[in-house]
Amino acid sequence: MRIIVGITGASGVVYGLELVRALKKHASAYVYLIVTRWAWYIMRLEADRRLVDEVFSLVDEYYPEDELDAPISSGSSKFDAVVVCPCSIRMLSDIVHARADNLVARCCLVALKEGRKVILVVRETPLSENMLELLHRASRLGVHIVPACPGFYHRPVDIRDQVRFIVGKVLDILGIEHDLYRPWRMMSGHGSDQ
Ligand SMILES: Cc1cc2nc3c(=O)[nH]c(=O)nc-3n(C[C@H](O)[C@H](O)[C@H](O)COP(=O)(O)O)c2cc1C
């Protein structure tokens, strides 16, 4: 499996970092990583440097957002899916409006025209009407929207549990088996492991 991960400048870059880890651990996926300029800014604010270094050591190919002539910029590149995680509203807007002047948006547009999966882990709150319209239009284009809204029914004990819940939802859409969260009714007090 060949997956493009785009990390954009929304809060929650740790979702993208954890996603790369999970793709390697659970699918031995070939991972292309693109990090936007604003994602680098947020990464310096939010992420532990050791985690960033570890994740970069796992990535197979890295591209900056302005490398529009990268191999993955073309439909002839046989990647399976693009996950933008986290996805800024700005990037969502580029994708909906088919603006391909950065590599993350370009790869999403290529995936859509080639009938491949696009998953956007959008993070913003609260959402205004025009943001909701963008999400609606993206959904109608066939984009999978996974809002960065962790559940609590799996009883997370720390932030990593909450991050892993969202990453698990992305892996579900990609059809990858994982143990990132326990499904409802396999929880203590609700079923088989009681
Ligand atoms: C500290 C900080 C947090 C931000 N958090 C978000 C966010 O959660 N969601 C969002 O859509 N934009 C957020 N932004 C705004 C984006 O960074 C901005 O729209 C930027 O242009 C996104 O660029 P990119 O899509 O090329 O990565 C944040 C900006 C800063 C400085």
Query: Where are the chain's structural domains?
Result: 2-174
Most ligand 1 atoms within 8 A of CB, residue of 88, 92, 145 to mutate: 88
Nearest protein Cα to ligand 1, atom 6: 10
pLDDT tens-digit readout, 136-162: 999 999 999 999 999 998 889 999 999
CB neighbour list of residue 10: distance below 8 Å, 6 or more residues apart: 42, 86, 87, 88, 89, 122, 123, 124, 148
User: What six digits make up the tokens of 99?
Assistant: 């603006």
pLDDT-derived band of residue 31, with 50, 70 and 90 as boundaries?
very high
User: How remote is the CA of residue 64 from the centroid of ligand 1, in Å?
Assistant: 17
User: What six digits make up the tokens of 191?
Assistant: 């079923």
Nearest-angstrom CA–CA distance, 150 and 147: 8
Q: CB of 7 within 8 A of CB of 40?
A: no
Nearest-angstrom CA–CA distance, 91 and 86: 10
> 38 CB less than 6 Å from ligand 1?
yes
CATH fold of 2-174 reads Rossmann fold (3.40.50)
Query: What's at 130, amino acid-wise?
Result: N
Query: What's at 149, amino acid-wise?
Result: C
Atom of ligand 1 nearest to the CA of 91: 25
Percent of the chain with pLDDT over 90: 92
Looking at residues 96-124, what average pLDDT do you find? 98
Confidence check: pLDDT of 190 > 70: no
Chain centroid, CA 65 distance in Å: 15
User: How remote is the CA of residue 123 from the centroid of ligand 1, in Å?
Assistant: 9
pLDDT-derived band of residue 189, with 50, 70 and 90 as boundaries?
low
Nearest-angstrom CA–CA distance, 33 and 45: 19
Confidence check: pLDDT of 61 > 90: yes
What are the residue ranges of helices labelled H in 88-158? 89-96, 103-113, 129-140
pLDDT-derived band of residue 104, with 50, 70 and 90 as boundaries?
very high
